[in-house]
Amino acid sequence: MISKARLKKLAEEHGTPLLVVDHDELRKNIRAFRRYLPRVQPYFAVKAGADPAIVRTLFEAGSSFDVASMPEFELVYDNIRDMPARERQQWIWDKIIYANPIKPVETLAELDQYKPLVTFDNLDEIEKIRRHAPRAGLVLRLKVSNTGAMVELSSKFGAPPAEAVDLILEADRQGLVVEGVSFHVGSQTTNFENYVEALNLTADIYAEAQSRGYTKMNLVDIGGGFPAPYDSTVRPFRELARIINSEINRLFPKHIEILAEPGRFFVATAGYSVSKIIGKSVRDGKPSYYLDDGVYHTYSGQIFDHCKYPVKAFKRGRTRLSAVFGPTCDALDVISMADPLPDLARDDLVYSEMIGAYTWASATTFNGFSPAKVVHVNQ
């Protein structure tokens, strides 16, 4: 937790727009994850907040990583410090999963030397992997229900359950090894039933594969989706963990390794943004403020991630519903049409909390405005 006074001081020191990452909070989140889900090894989904300092802190705290592109793979690989090259080679599956079911052949060719663990969900990908990364271990990505998730992730990826075992057997026929099954229940999932359904479906796939003679699977990857506590409607993580623990222990024998790919859950609460009012007007009778940060930058999560980040003032005073805009010329660059704010002046600072996931990671340089400077504290 970073105090308002410290945030303000950091902004005065570094300028705005600013994004502050609290590494104590990163460590707290991974500790909670490992404590409540003791059987599950977390692979941090790097896309939620791709940064070498974050990778290092989470690695030291025991995290592995989920990557989805060659630059993400290299970001992780280069930052797995204190590990001799030979050991890295053996540890690669323990530390990295390449969890994008569709991979360019150039990427597969480059990945092959690492004997990576990669996901797939279709016939053409099996063919690609056989030709370009035959040393890879495979994980079948299953299409599962995303009901009630803030961000839907099943329309683009995942094999239909009815085709899953056929794909596993085809990969086997082509000389590849399928190590297990993965799924993603949708990001910011507050409908915990999705995990129960997906785990039961996975157990069915395991049973069908076994009955058709395939017995090499030994891992289940339960994906991401673990919700950040953005507001009081999100039930506590330990409740979700209790449900997941009871299902995995009931459905999968002890020797089956359980992986997860939390993204948002690790970084959301660790991020704070501070920006400055660069202009002020009254539009349709409403106080309207223009910031040096907006939806093309740190607030990009409001577009891509369907998440809302309330803007708060350091100043106190009687509040009025106010509009808050970003600095670009695009009328889409609206942070809020109704945030309760006191009367603010040009050069005043404002901030947002829990803005660490899918925010600065998807910032652009549109219209010539640079993304926020990222500052790490409590490293």
Positions marked active-site: 329
CB of 205 to ligand PLP, least distance (A): 17
Among 132, 95, 138, which Cα is nearest to 113's?
A: 132
Residue 252's CB is within 10 A of a number of other CB atoms, namely 19
Q: Which stretch binds ligand PLP (CB under 6 A): 1-9, 43-51, 87-95, 208-216?
A: 43-51
CB of 227 to ligand PLP, least distance (A): 8
CB of 13 to ligand PLP, least distance (A): 31
Encode 49-86: b = buried (16+ Cβ within 10 Å), e = exposed: bbbeebbbbbbebebbbbbbbbebbebbbebbeeeeee
The gap from C-alpha 370 to its chain's centroid, in whole angstroms, comes to 23
366, two tokens = 């549109």
CB of 99 to ligand PLP, least distance (A): 4
Q: Is 226 in the site for ligand PLP (CB under 6 A)?
A: yes
Q: Which stretch binds ligand PLP (CB under 6 A): 85-93, 132-140, 259-267, 277-285?
A: 259-267
Q: Is 48 in the site for ligand PLP (CB under 6 A)?
A: yes
Q: Which stretch binds ligand PLP (CB under 6 A): 169-177, 257-265, 295-303, 324-332?
A: 257-265
208, two tokens = 């069908």
Question: Within positions 50 to 89, which residues make up the interface with ligand PLP, using CB under 6 A?
Answer: 66
Residue type, 150: M
Q: Is 184 in the site for ligand PLP (CB under 6 A)?
A: yes
Q: Is 224 in the site for ligand PLP (CB under 6 A)?
A: yes
Among 292, 303, 222, 289, which Cα is nearest to 257's?
A: 222
Q: Is 103 in the site for ligand PLP (CB under 6 A)?
A: no
Q: Can you tell me which of 41, 57, 107, 187 binds ligand PLP, judged by CB under 6 A?
A: 187
Encode 192-206: b = buried (16+ Cβ within 10 Å), e = exposed: bebbbbbbebbbebb
CB half-sphere exposure, 9, CA atoms < 13 A: 6
Q: Is 47 in the site for ligand PLP (CB under 6 A)?
A: yes
Number of residues that bind ligand PLP (CB under 6 A): 16
What is the dihedral angle through the alpha carbons of 246, 250, 251, 254, rounded to the nearest 10 degrees? Answer: 100
Q: Can you tell me which of 262, 294, 326, 371 binds ligand PLP, judged by CB under 6 A?
A: 262
CB of 48 to ligand PLP, least distance (A): 5
Q: How far apart are alpha carbons 303 and 283 in whole angstroms?
A: 23
Q: Is 326 in the site for ligand PLP (CB under 6 A)?
A: no
Q: How far apart are alpha carbons 260 and 1 in whole angstroms?
A: 26
**What values do phi and psi take at 368, rounded to 5?**
85, 5
> Whose structure tokens read 């099954």?
181
Instruction: Say if CB 220 and CB 181 are below 8 A apart.
Output: yes
Q: Which stretch binds ligand PLP (CB under 6 A): 44-52, 108-116, 204-212, 276-284?
A: 44-52
Q: Can you tell me which of 263, 294, 301, 326 binds ligand PLP, judged by CB under 6 A?
A: 263
> Which residues contact ligand PLP by CB under 6 A?
45, 47-48, 66, 99, 184, 187, 223-226, 261-265
